[in-house]
Amino acid sequence: MLIFVAPTIAAAEQWTGNVNFSLGQKYLSSSDWASVDDQTSVGAEVTWGKKDWPIQIATDLLGSTQEKTSSGVKVEGNTSELGLGIRKVWDIEKVHPYLGGGVAFISGEGKVSSSGLSAKDNDSSAGEWVGGGIYWRLGNRFNLGADARYSRAKVNFFGTDVEAGGTQAGVTFGWGWPAAR
């Protein structure tokens, strides 16, 4: 059994990564999103690769939402984003600044309702993202930090092109592997 387990353990020790969750705000174009342009955002940034790679793989999933009611008219807007790309993480003791970028698959949805009538539209499109941040390793595995990101992709709502990407900033928390020594 040791013959099969030892190579698996050795292979696992060659990998490194982080899963960091983000909570913050996404700022969309006010001309495109009117009263729902400042949205609450949540997400997960997953960075992984072999220890000897100069850059790592980025696999991110983010979402944002906002709803407002004014004069009996309810407006809802939300976006979701899958970001795939690369990320460079620098290891400076327990401080880890990082930069990355890649392709973004962004979906957006808008809904307007008033007096029992409603209209809703959604669309998806590919675009790009760039982002960065910094986190501190607290203890052996726990990460705490801040991130910022910019993405862009046009979607079409009710016959009009709308920018579904935007600027996003938040606080992050998560964990990394292998454990810090």
* Tens digits of residue pLDDT in 126-178: 999 999 999 999 998 999 999 999 999 999 998 999 999 999 999 999 999 98
**pLDDT, tens digit, 9 for 90 and up, residues 65-86:** 999 999 999 999 999 999 999 9
What is the pLDDT, as a whole number, of residue 6? 43
CATH code: domain of residue 156? 2.40.160.20
Percent of the chain past pLDDT 90, that is, above it, reads: 84
Give every CB contact of residue 15 below 8 A, 6+ residues apart in sequence: 48, 49, 50, 51, 177, 178
Does 7 reside within a domain? no
Does 5 reside within a domain? no
Six token digits for residue 67: 């709803």
**pLDDT at residue 12 is higher than 80:** no
Does 3 reside within a domain? no
**pLDDT at residue 106 is higher than 60:** yes
Task: Read off the pTM.
Answer: 0.88
What is the pLDDT, as a whole number, of residue 10? 47
Q: Domain range spanning residue 53?
A: 18-177
What is the pLDDT, as a whole number, of residue 180? 66
Burial of 5 (0-12, 13-18, 19+ CB in 10 A): exposed
**pLDDT at residue 9 is higher than 80:** no
What is the pLDDT, as a whole number, of residue 67? 97
Structural domains of the chain, count: 1
Instruction: Name the least confident of 4-8, 97-101, 155-159, 165-169.
Output: 4-8
Does 78 reside within a domain? yes
**pLDDT at residue 113 is higher than 80:** yes
**pLDDT at residue 7 is higher than 60:** no
